[in-house]
Chain A
Amino acid sequence: MTDFLWLIPLLPLAGSAINGLIGRRLPKPVISLVACGSAGLSFLLAALTFFGLNSLPAAERHIVETYFTWIASGDFIAEAQFLLDPLSAVMLLVVTGVGFVIHIYSIGYMHAEDGYYRFFAYLNLFLFSMLILVLAGNFLLMFVGWEGVGLCSYLLIGYYFERRSAGDAGKKAFIVNRIGDVGFVLGVLLIFLTFGNIEFTRVFHDIAADTQRFPVEAGAGILTAIALLLFIGATGKSAQIPLYVWLPDAMEGPTPVSALIHAATMVTAGVYMVVRCSPIFSRAPIAMEVVAVVGVITALFAATIGLAQTDIKRLLAYSTVSQLGYMFVAAGVGAFSAGIFHLMTHAFFKALLFLGAGSVIHAMSGEQDLLRMGGLRRHTPITYRTMFIAALAISGIPPFAGFFSKDEILWSAWSRGHSIIWILGLLTAGLTAFYMFRLIFLTFHGHERFPEETRHHLHESPPSMTLPLVILAILSVVGGLVGLPPWLHLGANQFEHYLEPSLELALLPQHGAVSHSVEFTFAVISVVVALIGIALARWIYLKRPGLSDTIAARMGRLYRLVFRKYLVDEAYDFLFVNPTVKASTGVLWRTVDIAVIDGAVNGTGHSIRTAAGILRHMQSGLIRSYAAWILAGLLIMLLYLTFMRA
């Protein structure tokens, strides 16, 4: 069953190697076949592995496959090993499944682009790195995947490298992620110093076994330090405050990339890592508190920015940041399985939203501004219907996928005593529903606000693009059914139950003894809030067009602040970027580099030239002068031998 576990990540790597090395000479159908074939095979194997794992009894669903010793240096040993348990199995399915669908979509979306082979080589390489990340059996191998996905993200954001903004966005993503990675590396080093090894299984068993040394920390102990350092890494990769700024800019990349990397899979790596390290986090209450608070603030903050965005992809990017905040709220309040549940459903509906947005942009000949769309539902019916489903799912309307996962997070926050987080989360849910339907109404309903020329080219996307939309729409509808809440009286939450073997070493807070009717009431509250958000969006953008401008004008300064994204980028420029640039220019470049280093090098050369300029006059060409010099030298040697040596 695990015989071909290693093939799952290696197939995309092979695809990437083929397309990357000889793709330039291959025809497009072959490139597509190699890329999608490797992703599809990988998905098939992942599905087989998933069902194989499920055939085992729950207690045995924890398989470590060690292939070879990767690094052995003194006490430090890093094996190349994969860990297969319910958590990594779920991630495997999500990554390969959504990845495969988006590969197919890319065939249609990228058909006219230059560097077709390059795109698919990067996309396959990303799939490989992401699979290494989720399958890794120790922290260092996970870090390899972690950096690999960061590299692919950088390469794909900068895919249109001839556009300056794309190059800048790629660099921004890369640098901001490096800041987070410093925290991650320090966390791994601290784990090695504390436990003497870096294998997930051994570290977590050590923690669970030695309650004397690793109690649930009341204050800030070693586990809190480790957890906080790892969380810094997560804020970088998963775009949380304060390192979220790269994700909206990452929309410079092609839309399938935004869907796969910057919505469905890579950005959830931080959540996955926190859940994987739940035995550490659950024993560090302060770190948990930090995770939950950062999560909910990010969720609310990004949702408010999303209200005023007019670029369809940027709006979705802020929505992603906001939804990732939800996942961290879940992890922070100890509802790790709810976080992974939302990760999964979010992967479905957010990938769908992005692919739908890509289909809209495709139809609109590259237009991304919501204010220049409108009335598209008549021209692109499939895109409209699927995106409508996705919007319902993300807004948390039952029975779509997002309802179950989001509601479970909110309920977990409340039932574990985080009432303020619950209120903020609920507010965010309302805002989410509002801005999502603002997008839907502005794009697909109302007047057509685009020029006649665009209208002429308007068309529904080809089947290779609409088929993935339909698949993801189906998943967005039924995806939530794997984790039905207990108040439906259909038994306990199956998804939570399935993940239990992965979380058995974590100290999960016990559910309070609250009746199902209370839980049901809370579900009703969140649905009502979402419906209010939708109704408000309908009223402002459909019934009273022009009202939004009035409100924006009435809000004045506040609106401009939100529209300009709270000036966070400007603040970062002022606080960090400009001082760094100035110090680098003034001190490092002009002083250290030019004056000191260049000065030393050029000075050496210059002094040698000066000395040589004088000395070369000895080379007079006069043979008698040479003879005299020889004689002088001989005399000096003789004098030295005669008098000095005595």
Chain B
Amino acid sequence: MAVAVIAMAVQRNLFGVVVLFSIYSFLMATVLVALDAVDVAMTEAAVGAGVSTVLLLGALYLTGGTESKPMQRPLLPLALSIAVGAVLAYGMQGLPAFSDPQAPIHSHVAPRYLEQGPKETGVPNVVTAVLASYRGYDTLGETAVVFTAGVGVIALLRRRTRKGK
């Protein structure tokens, strides 16, 4: 994955960048499978590696395939991203260890979902039970977000087309 990321940053040919991005998404999906998050892994493989690659290739077809040279050396963005990365790394020191059963995230509602979820909803897959039932409002909001984003993009691209004509 690190190789893919570095190659993406160095690469000037955007077609190569898109292909590397797709490879990165597939690797990310395998990482998510290894973390036992199969639902997320499926989404990552289908959206990140599949559909978004196609959309990026479509965008490349419209804009042309080579990245232009930067106007000045991007030192300020580099410093900023290193600083943000350092802050995040510092913050990670305060997180509980991975899969620590005493972690706050595992000690509030999660045990109740795991114990009562299959009984109350009749759905063995707890992810689906939480997503669609316990967190129904959140998923409704998420669907509304997808809908709004789609409508926004439709509105943007449509108007441009009409102007072009």
The answer to whether A and B come from one shared complex is no
